[in-house]
Each structure stands twice: as structure tokens, then as C-alpha cells.
């Protein structure tokens, strides 16, 4: 039996304490070898050439060069899986979403206070995300990602759609912030209502909803409990809560659920999909995009069994084919579709797409 070579990791952070703690956390796993650490991007640049790491953990705010500028250069010239270590602040949320747009695979939230103890609390997540990142598909950046303050850089051709009472439900995780942007960017203003669940820390949801809203002809918003679900609108769960749909006479409404995590996630895709299966059945369409783990697979199967058309993003265009792959293996997906065709197929399966 051939032993698999350990994942070679370079830790980049301006804090000596954080570099030490991350090195200790990662080194405890026999499948990971920390080959070096760097206190700023210029040192990191030299160490990347010298050490050829499989994965880089990267802080955002560092001396001599901004972490985002470094990430953009890296993804343009030497695409390498990157896990961002970002602060749980509103500014940190905007910056992290920009990093994901530039090609970072995933991120881990760095606590604002008591960083040492806080990072230890995230040890399992840090190790898991580094291992997933090592298998992720990263592509060379061919354009600058849109700045957070701007809308789409160019007009997007969107399929025509006539409003119906259909409902589209989408779940995603690692790689999903950008995948959802691509899908919603291609949706027309009169598309069926869309309900979404993306695995994100609670403090990221507002910035994420605002980012999607800027890139879509639809109105994208954080859902409020009891609000009516309307065509031309997309709804995200507010931070750290599940989103479900309920039937209220002839219409659907959002239900914000502060229950326990499901599949270790809150919000969880399975919670959303099961509510869609129960309350919308064949009037809904379900999709799982790129993501780690298997959240949503069973819920998508319940949607299919209830009569809803279903699809998953294909492996070639997924950053991580965990959630879509799990749904496919479970028999939950009727179609496997590349990312650039997901919006088109969702509209077609809703009955009115062209």
C-alpha cells in the first residue's frame, strides 16, 4: 500500500502568535506538513517559489502588501489553493467575499479576541478546510474580480422568463459564494422566486446578500420571518439561522428557524430543501452547487421524490464536488450541469425558460 504524501502548507500571517498556533494545529494531523511560514506577502512570494506548497493559509491585513493584492497576483501567475484566515467583522466579511471572488477556496473565521484560544476552537475546521483545499480545482485568474462597490463589469445576457408560481431552491458551500453570483447574474428580473442557503458565518450574511443584489437583476435580500415569497426576488437566511418555507393559503412565506445545527451547519441546506419538498413539491426546482460535505443531498432527494425537477453542478466546474457529488450518488439529481448552464436549466425546468 502506497502512503500518500502529506499536504504541504505555507502559513502566511503577520502575527507571530497566529503563525505559531496555525502551525501547531496543522502539524498535529499526520496528513499535513507545514513546510514554512511567512510574516508578509513578499516573504511568502519567495517561499512559494522555494517550497512549492500545496495549500496556503493567508491573512488579509498584512504589512508591505495587502493580502487581496497578493492573492490576485498569486491566482494570476501561480494558481494555488488558498484558505483565507479572516476576522469576524463587517469589514472582514466584505474583504473575505472579495477574496473568494479572486479564487480563494474557502475561509476560516479568526476571532477578534483571545486569538490563541479562539483558533484552537476552530482547529477541526481549519484542518478539514486545508485538506479539502488540497483537492480543490483552482484556475488561473483571467480578470480582476469586481470591486465590492461596483455592479457587474459588463451587461449580462439573461434568458427571458414569464412569471409563474414556481419556486427555485439552491444550496451551496465551499466555492458557492461565487457560484451563486454566476447563477443569479444570469437570472432575469422576472424569474421565479429563489430561496438560497449558503454556508457562511452569521456576520457574513448581510454583506453576502448585498453583494449578490448588486450582481443580479433580481432583488436579493436577507429573509425576514413571515414575509411573502415573491417572483423576481431571492431570499437568503439571516446570519446563523435556518431558512424554511411554509405554505400560507395560495402563497409561500419565509420562516426563520433558530433551531439546532443540522449536518453541523446553521443555516443548513437540508432544512430548506425538506421544507420545499413538503410545501412546494412539484412546483419547485432544486439545485446543489459546489460545496464540501453532504448537506442538502437527502433534502434534494426528498424534493425529487415529491415531484420537483433537480440538478447538481458538475465536478469539472465545482471548486469542491462534495455536496453535489453526494447528491448525485444518492440518486437525488436528475441532471448534472456545468455552472454556466445552471441558470438556463433552472429556468427551463421551471417551465417557462427559453
Residue 342 burial (CB < 10 Å; 0-12/13-18/19+)?
Answer: buried
> pLDDT grade, residue 86 (50/70/90)?
confident
CA distance 281 to 304: 8
| pLDDT at residue number 21 | 95
Q: In whole numbers, what is the pLDDT of the chain averaged over residues?
A: 90
> Is residue 63's pLDDT more than 80?
no
Domain positions in the chain are: 7-135, 167-349
Pairwise pLDDT comparison (68 vs 236), residue with the higher score: 236
Question: Which residues are marked as active site?
Answer: 173, 199, 295
Pairwise pLDDT comparison (1 vs 120), residue with the higher score: 120
pTM (predicted TM-score) = 0.88
Check if CATH label 3.40.50.180 holds for domain 167-349: yes
pLDDT tens by residue, 315-340: 999 999 999 999 999 999 999 999 99
The bridge status of strand 7-12 relative to strand 55-59 is: parallel
Question: Which cell numbers hold the place of 55?
Answer: 495549500
Same fold, 7-135 and 167-349: yes
| pLDDT at residue number 143 | 57
| pLDDT at residue number 155 | 57
pLDDT tens by residue, 188-247: 999 999 999 999 988 899 999 999 999 999 999 999 999 999 999 999 999 899 999 999
> Is residue 164's pLDDT more than 60?
no
> pLDDT grade, residue 54 (50/70/90)?
very high
Least confident of 139-148, 250-259, 342-351: 139-148
> pLDDT grade, residue 8 (50/70/90)?
very high
| pLDDT at residue number 150 | 39
> pLDDT grade, residue 160 (50/70/90)?
low
| pLDDT at residue number 148 | 42
Residues 243 and 237: beta-carbon distance below 8 Å? yes
> Is residue 151's pLDDT more than 80?
no
* Across 161-188, average pLDDT: 89
Q: What percent of the chain has pLDDT over 90?
A: 76
pLDDT tens by residue, 112-147: 778 777 889 889 999 999 999 999 988 888 754 444
CA angle 217–218–223, rounded 5-degree value: 150
| pLDDT at residue number 201 | 87
> Is residue 94's pLDDT more than 70?
yes
CA distance 130 to 53: 12
Superfamily of domain 7-135: Response regulator (3.40.50.2300)
Cα dihedral: 338, 339, 341, 344 (round 10): 140
Sequential DSSP letters for 117-178: HHHHHTHHHHHHHHHHHHH-------SPPPPTT---SS----------S-EEEEEE-TTHHH
> Is residue 104's pLDDT more than 80?
yes
Amino acid at each position: 500500500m502506497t502512503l500518500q504524501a502529506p499536504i504541504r502548507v505555507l502559513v502566511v500571517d503577520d502575527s507571530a502568535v497566529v503563525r505559531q498556533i496555525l502551525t501547531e494545529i496543522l502539524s498535529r494531523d499526520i496528513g499535513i506538513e507545514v513546510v514554512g511560514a511567512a510574516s508578509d506577502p513578499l516573504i511568502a512570494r519567495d517561499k512559494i517559489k522555494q517550497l512549492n506548497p500545496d495549500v496556503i493559509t493567508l491573512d488579509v491585513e498584512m504589512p508591505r502588501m495587502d493580502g487581496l493584492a497578493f492573492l490576485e497576483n498569486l491566482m494570476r501567475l501561480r494558481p494555488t489553493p488558498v484558505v483565507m484566515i479572516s476576522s469576524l467583522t463587517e469589514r472582514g466579511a466584505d474583504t473575505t467575499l472579495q477574496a473568494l471572488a479572486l479564487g480563494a477556496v474557502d475561509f476560516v473565521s479568526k476571532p477578534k479576541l483571545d486569538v490563541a484560544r479562539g483558533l484552537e476552537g476552530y482547529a477541526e475546521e481549519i484542518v478539514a478546510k486545508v485538506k479539502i483545499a488540497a483537492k480543490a480545482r483552482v484556475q488561473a485568474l483571467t480578470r480582476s474580480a469586481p470591486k465590492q462597490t461596483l455592479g457587474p463589469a459588463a451587461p449580462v445576457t439573461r434568458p427571458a422568463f414569464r412569471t409563474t408560481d414556481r419556486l427555485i431552491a439552491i444550496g451551496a458551500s465551499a466555492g458557492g459564494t461565487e457560484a451563486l453570483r454566476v447563477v443569479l447574474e444570469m437570472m432575469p428580473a422576472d424569474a421565479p422566486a429563489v430561496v438560497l442557503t449558503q454556508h457562511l458565518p452569521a456576520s457574513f450574511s448581510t454583506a453576502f446578500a448585498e453583494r449578490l443584489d448588486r450582481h443580479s437583476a433580481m432583488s436579493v435580500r436577507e429573509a425576514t420571518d413571515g414575509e411573502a415569497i415573491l417572483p423576481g426576488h431571492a431570499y437568503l437566511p439571516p446570519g446563523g439561522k435556518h431558512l424554511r418555507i411554509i405554505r400560507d393559503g395560495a402563497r409561500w412565506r419565509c420562516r426563520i428557524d433558530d433551531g439546532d445545527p443540522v449536518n453541523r451547519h446553521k443555516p443548513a441546506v437540508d432544512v430548506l430543501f425538506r421544507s420545499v419538498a413538503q410545501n412546494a413539491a412539484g412546483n419547485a426546482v432544486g439545485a446543489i452547487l459546489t460545496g464540501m460535505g453532504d448537506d442538502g443531498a437527502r433534502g434534494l432527494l426528498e424534493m425529487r421524490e415529491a415531484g420537483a425537477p433537480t440538478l447538481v453542478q458538475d465536478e469539472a466546474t465545482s471548486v469542491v464536488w462534495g455536496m453535489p457529488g453526494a447528491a448525485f450518488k444518492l440518486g437525488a439529481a436528475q441532471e448534472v450541469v456545468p455552472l454556466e448552464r445552471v441558470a438556463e436549466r433552472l429556468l427551463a425546468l421551471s417551465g417557462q425558460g427559453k
